[in-house]
Amino acid sequence: MDYGYNNQYSTVYGAQGAADGGGFVAGEPQSSPAAGRGGYGKDTVRPMTIKQILDSQQPHPDADFRADGEPFGQVTFVGQIQSISTQATNVTYRVDDGTGIIDAKQWIDSDQNADKMEVDPSKPKLVENGYCRVWGRLKSFNNKRHVGAHIIRPITDYNEIHYHMLEATAVHLFFTRGPPSNAQSNGQKNAGTNGTNGGHEDFGNAAGGALPNVSPLARRVYATLKNTPQSNEGLHVQMIASQMGLPVTDVYKASEELLGVGVIFTTVDDNTWAVLDA
């Protein structure tokens, strides 16, 4: 899965072959602020810290979990195993990555037992105080979160720990600030003090008289869309909010006004917009 950094996570992590398929679909088109279409949250695996996992939001019990305003289906994280608890139906690993602690539960099939989970005795084993990488799906039960793990494997190269933390940070920045772009070095002559292109005077001028009956906030969002360097896919809501220093909910409200009067349109998904040039 590509978050704009050309990383094919399912290939890099070698996560194919989970017992239930796990949703690891290599090469399937995904949705992001940069490219792709619907289905991102269902089919991708997102690198995260445990704190990001615990802080993620779920509007209601049947909804997808969201982090940085984006839904996610599966996660991967690394950490140190604090304890291992073996039950008849599952093995629970309590994992700490320095940002938080969470349980990773790996369920045992009815025709398996805990001893059979260790296939090759010559390979490194999961042990208390050792480090591991987990792939799985975040779940909530009785208001307590855990990860239903498809795969848990020991870490033998400790550079993987630092690599994962950097990768989780890069993905977080992508969703909160938009994709890295050389275009950001251009068009700086109109940069305003609030992080958008153009000062308050430019908001009205950019919109001109083409925005009747819309709020001042909608005019500001329109000006940001019109003046910010971007590809032909437009700007994602997270990037607009970051540029303007506004909550995402405010940007959504303004976009509804602008869509209603037909001056912007959606591009790669419902959260990415571009100005409809006359």
Residue 179: what pLDDT?
74
pLDDT at 18 over 50: no
Give the closest residue to 102 by CA, choosing from 175, 177, 51, 165. 51
Residue with tokens 């910010």: 228
Q: What is the pTM of this model?
A: 0.52
Q: Which residues of 57-69 are buried (b: 16+ CB within 10 A; e: fewer)?
A: eeeeeeebbebbb
pLDDT of residue 229: 84
Tokens 């997808």 map to which residue?
64
pLDDT in tens, 83-95: 999 999 999 999 9
Per-residue pLDDT reduced to its tens digit, 26-51: 333 333 444 333 444 456 789 999 99
pLDDT at 99 over 80: yes
Token pair 């695996």 is found at 45
pLDDT in tens, 184-238: 444 444 444 344 444 333 334 434 445 667 888 888 999 888 888 887 778 888 8
pLDDT tens-digit profile of 125-144?
Answer: 999 999 999 999 999 888 89
Domains delineated in the chain: 9-177 (2.40.50.140), 182-275 (1.10.10.10)
- At 243-278, the pLDDT tens digits run 888 888 899 998 888 888 888 888 888 888 888 874
Phi, psi (rounded to 5 degrees) for 30: -125, 175
Cα separation, 228 vs 202, in Å, equals 12
Look at residue 1 and tell me whether its pLDDT is greater than 80: no
Residue 75 has pLDDT above 90, yes or no: yes
> Please, which pLDDT band fits residue 17 given cuts at 50, 70 and 90?
very low
Contact 33/238 with Cβ under 8 angstroms? yes
Instruction: In whole angstroms, give the CA distance from residue 171 to residue 238.
Output: 13
- Expressed in angstroms, the distance from the first to the final Cα of the chain is 36
pLDDT given at position 211:
64
Q: What is the pLDDT of residue 264?
A: 86
Tell me, what's the pLDDT at 112? 54
